[in-house]
A and B are shown apart, each in its own frame.
Chain A
Amino acid sequence: NAGVTQTPKFRVLKTGQSMTLLCAQDMNHEYMYWYRQDPGMGLRLIHYSVGEGTTAKGEVPDGYNVSRLKKQNFLLGLESAAPSQTSVYFCASSLTSGRASDTQYFGPGTRLTVL
């Protein structure tokens, strides 16, 4: 049981390039989330998914797109990277129907630098 995994661990992009971050979970969780972590700002929700085929915007969705074609995978895309998107990205998942009491399980993070 690997839990939540993220690919890649590190990436450097030039401004304007695109990339996709992959999150995978093997716990059969319904809900999945993408956060970004910036110094002094904690974690902020980018997008989330309440189940296969559904996605919704979080607190800071601009410049990102997501897809959840399979229950176990949640992809985060940057179509045209900007230096402001330099951050550490975390994926998380939770078990059931998004109850407020659910524990979220986090992946190890992807450190992205945009030059």
Chain B
Amino acid sequence: AQSVTQLDSQVPVFEEAPVELRCNYSSSVSVYLFWYVQYPNQGLQLLLKYLSGSTLVESINGFEAEFNKSQTSFHLRKPSVHISDTAEYFCAVSALNQGGKLIFGQGTELSVKP
């Protein structure tokens, strides 16, 4: 079985400051890793995902995440956040041969203040 732990339920940060949202996972088989974002009153949308290859993956809006197999982590970072980044962020894993089912973490609420 797989599990995902997001270590911070809420992260308040000032605009233009750097941020890191932490995610650790547990699995006995190989997994793919995802970050989804949920803006207020909307559904989830994919931010980025790690499938294979380079352990650093980037999104189009400046976020990046690094897959660390030894630490079973997939932390999300952004060097300078904007007010518009205020949202809830979910880390998720999907195991091979599991029909594409996602296991989600509890979510981290990022609040960017001016």
Contacts and interface: CB of A to CB of B under 8 A. Distances in A.
Interface of A: 4, 31, 33, 40-45, 48, 50, 56, 58, 90, 92, 94, 98-109
Interface string B1-43: 0001010010000000000000000000001101010000111
A101 B45 contact: no
A42 B107 contact: yes
B114 interface: no
Contacts of B96: 100
A98 B4 CA distance: 20
Contact of A109 (B43, B46, B51): B43
Nearest to B50: A101
B95 interface: yes
Interface in B58-78: none
B102 interface: yes
Considering the complex of A and B, which 6 residue pairs feature the smallest CB-CB distances, nearest first?
A: A106-B43, A98-B100, A42-B104, A98-B99, A100-B94, A106-B44
Given A42-B90, A101-B51, A4 B43 contact: yes
B106 A102 contact: no
Contacts of B106: 40-42
Interface of B: 4, 6, 9, 31-32, 34, 36, 41-46, 49, 51, 90, 94-102, 104-107
A102 B43 contact: no
A48 B101 contact: yes
A100 B100 contact: yes
A103 B46 contact: yes
A94 B101 contact: no
A92 B46 CA distance: 12
A44 B62 CA distance: 28
Contact of B90 (A43, A94, A109): A43
Contact of A100 (B4, B45, B98, B105): B98
